[in-house]
Structures are given as structure tokens and as C-alpha cells.
Amino acid sequence: MPDGILDLRMAAPAIALRGVGKVYSAGRGSLVALAHVDLALRAGELAAVIGPSGSGKTTLLSIIGGILTPTSGEVWIAGQEIARLGEAERSRARLAHIGFVFQGYNLFPSLTARQNVEIALDLKGVKRRHRAAAALELLEQVALREKADTYPADLSGGQKQRVAIARALAGTPSIILADEPTAALDSVTGRRIMGLFRDLARQQRRAVVIVTHDSRLLDFADRVIAVDDGRVSEAAAPRAVELAGSEPAAAAALTAGLIRRPRSFEHSDLVGTP
């Protein structure tokens, strides 16, 4: 078991946002992308972030990941407030705690799967002589070791996404963030990838936050966080989701009256078809 995993069990919450706001300057005016967001996530939880296009999901994820700084409020990551840190310190905190799965895989086409993962290990400070073995171990975690020497062009969409996830796992981050990781995948592959994220949360006790447009995947989530016009409505209570068993979390939460239905989703979408 990689170092640090046992420690993560003690740390709660893994992510805490307090009164987070983000205002972009837009032309001569300004645009409120996030308004006073309060949010706390524990290690071991998988949170799905849903909401219409332009509602602030990517902004939220980028702030949690220390890529963007908020205009107001506090962002606590693994016990450290990162919003007020300088660029260099924030970058250090990001490398230590955050694994980011970028939209559209972002793999280097001229590098093999293993080499793509090795680059991330390099960034995270893993010594050259350990990188090859560490990369194979990470590919093993996503069941892709046999494709280690394959180039992205010869991998399927699901396999490319698994390389991207292996890369995000470099350095054993306690927090995994993914922006629409299943957008380019068919539904069966999308469910496999979500299952992988769920295992990372449940078995390895990481905090996992996934932006998704696909309401059929919400049954993998412990929490459903709805973003609407920069406002976050606290979604399904984890307990309600657990009680729901195999039912889609969002449908259960709606039935329990715990969340407001997001504008862009019809109830029938959330319930889904068997």
C-alpha cells in the first residue's frame, strides 16, 4: 500500500470551501461565476458535480485544485488553506495533494502509456531510476499494465482515460479531480471508468470529485452536488444515498426531497431506464 494512505483516514474533511466566490472580469463588466460556496468533502467520498453548461462547474473544480484562486473565501485542502498562498506554494500544495484528470485525456501522442505516466512522476519529484517501475505500478492499478508500451493512438478511449487516471495517481494524491471524464466514452466504458473512480474513493480513501453531464452515472456517487448559476445546492446526504442501495443517488435524493432538481435535468433522466 502506498505511503500516506492510512494517514488520510484520519484527515476529515479532505476538502473544505468556505464562502468561496469567483468573479471574472468580462469585457467592461464582471461575471459572478461562483457565489458564496460552502462545501466539505471527506476522504473516501465520491462527489459528482452536475449542472448546466456555464453554471460554474469547471471554475469550482479548478479552485478546489488550486489552478484558480477564488475572489473571496477560503479553500482548505488536506488541512492547508491554499487560496492565500503565493503561486509557488500553491503549486507545491497542488503537486502534493491533487491529482487532476483533464478533459480530453491530454496525453502526449509521441510517448507510450508508460512514458506519459513517467512525466507525471517526474513532476511529482519521483527520482528517474524509480519512475519506470512506479509507472508500471500505476498502470497496473488501472488494469492497463499490458498496454504500457502502447502509444495513445493505438489505445481505445477508455484505455486512454485509464492512462490519464494513472497519471493523476502519480505521487499518491489524497484528492482526485476530473472534469467530465466520461464525456467521450460510450456508456458501458463510462460506467467502468466511474467504477474505477469509486474504487479509488472507497478502497483507497481518496476524496474524488467528478464533473459529469451524464445523469446515468450518478448512482456511483456518494454525493451529488448541483451547481446552478454559480450557486451550489448541497446535494444528497451521504446517508440518504447509502440507504438508496442500487437506486440512482440523484433519484433517491429527489424522492427524499433533499435536492432541488437542476434546471437542465428532467426527472425521467435522473431516474433513468433500467
Question: Using CB under 6 A as the criterion, which residues of the chain lie in contact with ligand ADP when the complex forms?
Answer: 24, 26, 31, 33, 51, 53-59
The alpha carbon of 201 is separated from its chain's Cα centroid by a whole number of angstroms, namely 10
Note whether 167 and 199 are within 8 A (CB): no
Question: Edge-to-edge, what's the strand order for the sheet holding 175-179?
Answer: 98-101, 175-179, 207-211, 46-50, 223-228, 231-233
Whichever of 22 and 57 has its CB closer to Mg ion, that residue is: 57
Distances in whole angstroms, Cα of residue 103 to Cα of each of 80, 175, 191: 26, 17, 17
Q: How far is the CB of 258 from Mg ion (least distance, A)?
A: 24
Looking at residue 261, the DSSP 8-state letter turns out to be P
Residue 4 site contact among Mg ion, ligand ADP, none (CB < 5 to 8 Å, cut-off depends on kind):
none
Residue 58 interacts with Mg ion (CB under 5 A): yes or no = yes
Whichever of 118 and 180 has its CB closer to ligand ADP, that residue is: 180
Whichever of 58 and 161 has its CB closer to Mg ion, that residue is: 58
Positions in 185-214 near Mg ion (CB under 5 A): none
Distance between CA 10 and CA 20 in Å, rounded?
A: 25
Binding piece for Mg ion, criterion CB under 5 A, among 58-66, 108-116, 134-142, 155-163: 58-66
Q: How far is the CB of 261 from ligand ADP (least distance, A)?
A: 17
Binding piece for Mg ion, criterion CB under 5 A, among 18-26, 56-64, 87-95, 239-247: 56-64
Note whether 224 and 248 are within 8 A (CB): no
| Interacting residues with Mg ion (CB under 5 A) | 57-58
